Amino acid sequence: MNSRDTLVTELNVLGTFDPIVPEVCQNADYLMLGNLSPQVQLSVINRMTNRPKLIAMDTMNFWMDIALDDLKETMKHVDILIINDEEARQLSKEYSLVRAAKIIRAMGPKTLIIKKGEHGALLFHGESVFFAPALPLEEVFDPTGAGDTFAGGFMGYLAATNDDSFENMKRAIIAGSALASFCVEKFGTQRLTEITTQDINHRISQFVALSNFEMNL
Contacts with its own copies, residue ranges (CB under 8 A): 96-99, 116, 119-120, 122, 128-133, 136-139, 167, 170-171, 174, 201, 204-205, 207-211, 213-215, 217
d(CA 94, CA 25): 38
d(CA 201, CA 213): 20
Q: Which is nearer to its own copies, 178 or 183 (CB)?
A: 178
Q: Is 83 exposed, middle or buried (0-12, 13-18, 19+ CB in 10 A)?
A: buried
Smallest distance, Å, CB 166 to its own copies?
Answer: 10
Smallest distance, Å, CB 139 to its own copies?
Answer: 6
Report helix, strand or coil for 106. coil
- Nearest residue to 133 (alpha-carbon basis) of 181, 201, 79, 87: 181
d(CA 183, CA 122): 20
Smallest distance, Å, CB 172 to its own copies?
Answer: 10
Q: Which is nearer to its own copies, 22 or 136 (CB)?
A: 136
Q: Is 41 exposed, middle or buried (0-12, 13-18, 19+ CB in 10 A)?
A: buried
Q: Which is nearer to its own copies, 14 or 140 (CB)?
A: 140
Q: Which is nearer to its own copies, 71 or 125 (CB)?
A: 125
Q: Which is nearer to its own copies, 75 or 97 (CB)?
A: 97
Q: Which is nearer to its own copies, 73 or 94 (CB)?
A: 94
Q: Which residues lie below 8 Å from residue 51, measured CB to CB, with a gap of 6+?
A: 45
Smallest distance, Å, CB 129 to its own copies?
Answer: 6
Smallest distance, Å, CB 23 to its own copies?
Answer: 34
Smallest distance, Å, CB 99 to its own copies?
Answer: 6
Q: Is 45 exposed, middle or buried (0-12, 13-18, 19+ CB in 10 A)?
A: middle
Cβ atoms of 53 and 28 within 8 Å: the answer is no
